[in-house]
């Protein structure tokens, strides 16, 4: 009888994971799709280069700050409920965004959309445990599918965005999210298991125990530091950094004294495996985004390739990462998470070293081979750290843990952006690319050093 239930549940579980994958893909899709619309937005709203970048910055800031908060809400009130609310928020916001009368409201819409998409990944990670148990499979398999959806969406975003903007206009970048979000909502509502009983109580009790000052402190500190790193207001950069540091200190002081903190810093400090996963993933992400942000600029500035050609040259990275992910999932089942993680970092280091070849030639065959090779360690290390995060946390903490994990991705991306600005202040050419390759090798060594010390947390 039990076997019959398991078999009948497998299609339902696969459908639920498909819906979750679609929902989690919306955040990386929208973060990369907008890049091709900046010129059109500048013309339509009469903006300069600095002003139009706020449509990108607002999304990154809201996503980075929102992921842990939405994860905490998923832990408290149920991941399925939060996922459905997030997709509903995305659908409504994106239906209204094209009607925005000015650019400021459009940036607000992007931030709200980012918060909606930010619910998807931490909610999905919380649900993965129940879905994997229901289908009697290892959690790495559904996590791998989520990873493949994220990688594919980020890579095809510029291509899809270019087609939409060229055929319809920038408004289509919002409108395309409406049917996608509604499809994810309906699939998960139909196929995902109902939430277990979470927290109950009066509204006053729930608000009191939500640690709203702690959440505000976390968001404030993160936003101030990230805005300083992105140099969004050059005249106030160091003031924002100082203010962010002060707010972070107050946040830590409060969280260590509050009975039910938003972020249990004591527990996080004692959970060495989780801290090492976060550090490894943040540093690894900075290596990846060196290539993701730096290589297209090198190809355009030094190689003379057009944006459309550059987008196609970057696609092998996503294609090989999708191929590598199921291989890594299978390898983790056989050799363990740590060995696969270390193998992925070693391969990452080798590919980063091969990027030196681009200082001598930017021929299309060489670029295609190198971007394809980079996809292998990207898929491998991403799913290994993802699984490492999952096994390093208790079920009731996986939502906020997954949110912080995603924030580490954004921190890596911002670090890479800042470092590219430092190493290529005079433009991205082959001399500055050599400096970037050396920086990537140093970051690879740091990632390897962190990964060596990681051990799976004992139950």
Same domain, 304 and 346: yes
Indicate the pLDDT class of residue 459, thresholds 50, 70 and 90: low
Mean per-residue pLDDT for 12-34?
A: 88
Same domain, 279 and 416: yes
Measured between alpha carbons, how far is 174 from 176 in angstroms, rounded to an integer?
A: 6
CATH number at residue 414: 1.20.1250.20
Same domain, 364 and 453: yes
Contact 56, 34 (CB under 8 A): yes
From its phi and psi, is residue 196 left (phi > 0), alpha (psi between -120 and 50) or beta? beta
Same domain, 187 and 334: no
Indicate the pLDDT class of residue 343, thresholds 50, 70 and 90: very high
From its phi and psi, is residue 361 left (phi > 0), alpha (psi between -120 and 50) or beta? beta
Indicate the pLDDT class of residue 446, thresholds 50, 70 and 90: very high
Residue position matching structure tokens 């409201």: 105
**CA-based nearest residue to 383, from 443, 315, 441, 331:** 331
- At which of 176, 202, 228 does a domain end? 202
Same domain, 14 and 160: yes
**CA-based nearest residue to 314, from 328, 293, 335:** 293
How many domains does one find in the chain? 3
Same domain, 314 and 220: no
Contact 118, 21 (CB under 8 A): no
Q: How many CB atoms lie within 10 A of CB 28?
A: 23
Same domain, 226 and 293: no
- At which of 158, 180, 202 does a domain end? 202
For all residues of the chain together, what is the average pLDDT?
Answer: 84
Query: Own/partner pairs for 451-455, CB < 8 Å, 24+ apart?
Result: 451/276, 451/280, 451/338, 451/341, 451/342, 451/345, 452/342, 453/276, 454/273, 454/276, 454/277, 454/280, 454/338, 454/341, 454/388, 455/273, 455/338
Between residues 46 and 372, which one has the greater pLDDT? 372
Same domain, 251 and 370: no
Mean per-residue pLDDT for 300-305?
A: 82
- Model pTM score: 0.78
Same domain, 406 and 346: yes
Same domain, 162 and 222: no
Same domain, 407 and 445: yes
pLDDT of residue 10: 66
pLDDT tens-digit readout, 322-335? 888 888 888 988 89
Which domain, by its residues, includes 216? 211-261
Same domain, 192 and 311: no
pLDDT tens-digit readout, 182-224? 999 999 999 888 877 665 555 556 566 667 788 788 888 878 8
pLDDT at residue 1 greater than cutoff 60: no
pLDDT at residue 447 greater than cutoff 80: yes
């Amino acid at each position: 009888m039990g076997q019959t239930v398991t078999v009948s549940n497998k299609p339902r579980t696969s459908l639920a994971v498909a819906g979750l994958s679609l929902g989690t893909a919306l955040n990386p899709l929208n973060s990369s799709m907008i890049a091709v619309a900046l010129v059109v937005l500048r013309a339509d709203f009469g903006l300069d280069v600095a002003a139009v970048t706020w449509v990108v910055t607002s999304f990154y800031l809201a996503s980075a700050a929102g992921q842990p908060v939405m994860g905490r809400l998923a832990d408290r009130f149920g991941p399925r409920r939060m996922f459905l609310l997030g997709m509903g928020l995305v659908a409504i916001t994106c239906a209204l965004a094209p009607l925005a009368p000015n650019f400021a409201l459009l940036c607000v819409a992007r931030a709200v959309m980012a918060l909606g998409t930010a619910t998807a990944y931490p909610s999905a990670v919380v649900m993965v445990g129940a879905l994997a148990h229901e289908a009697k499979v290892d959690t790495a398999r559904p996590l791998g599918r989520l990873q493949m959806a994220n990688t594919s969406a980020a890579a095809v975003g510029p291509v899809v965005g270019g087609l939409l903007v060229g055929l319809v206009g920038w408004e289509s970048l919002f409108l395309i999210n409406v049917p996608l979000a509604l499809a994810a909502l309906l699939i998960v509502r139909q196929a995902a298991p109902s939430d277990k009983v979470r927290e109950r109580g009066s509204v006053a009790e729930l608000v009191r125990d939500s640690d709203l000052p702690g959440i505000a402190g976390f968001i404030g500190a993160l936003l101030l530091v990230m805005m300083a790193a992105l140099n969004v207001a050059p005249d106030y950069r160091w003031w924002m950094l100082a203010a962010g540091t002060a707010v972070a200190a107050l946040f830590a002081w409060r969280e260590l004294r509050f009975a039910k903190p938003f972020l249990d810093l004591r527990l996080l400090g004692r959970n060495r495996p989780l801290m090492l996963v976060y550090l490894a993933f943040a540093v690894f992400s900075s290596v990846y985004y060196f290539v993701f942000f730096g290589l297209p600029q090198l190809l355009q500035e030094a190689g003379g390739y057009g944006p459309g050609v550059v987008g196609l040259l970057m696609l092998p990275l996503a294609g090989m990462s999708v191929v590598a992910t199921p291989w890594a999932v299978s390898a983790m089942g056989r050799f363990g998470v740590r060995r696969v993680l270390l193998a992925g970092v070693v391969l990452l280091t080798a590919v980063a070293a091969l990027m030196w070849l681009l200082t001598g030639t930017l021929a299309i065959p060489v670029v295609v081979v190198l971007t394809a090779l980079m996809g292998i360690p990207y898929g491998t290390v991403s799913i290994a750290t993802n699984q490492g995060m999952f096994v390093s946390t208790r079920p009731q903490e996986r939502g906020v843990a997954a949110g912080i994990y995603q924030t580490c991705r954004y921190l890596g991306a911002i670090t890479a952006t800042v470092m590219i600005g430092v190493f290529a202040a005079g433009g991205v050419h082959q001399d500055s690319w050599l400096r970037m390759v050396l920086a990537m090798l140093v970051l690879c060594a740091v990632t390897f050093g962190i990964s060596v010390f990681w051990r799976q947390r004992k139950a």
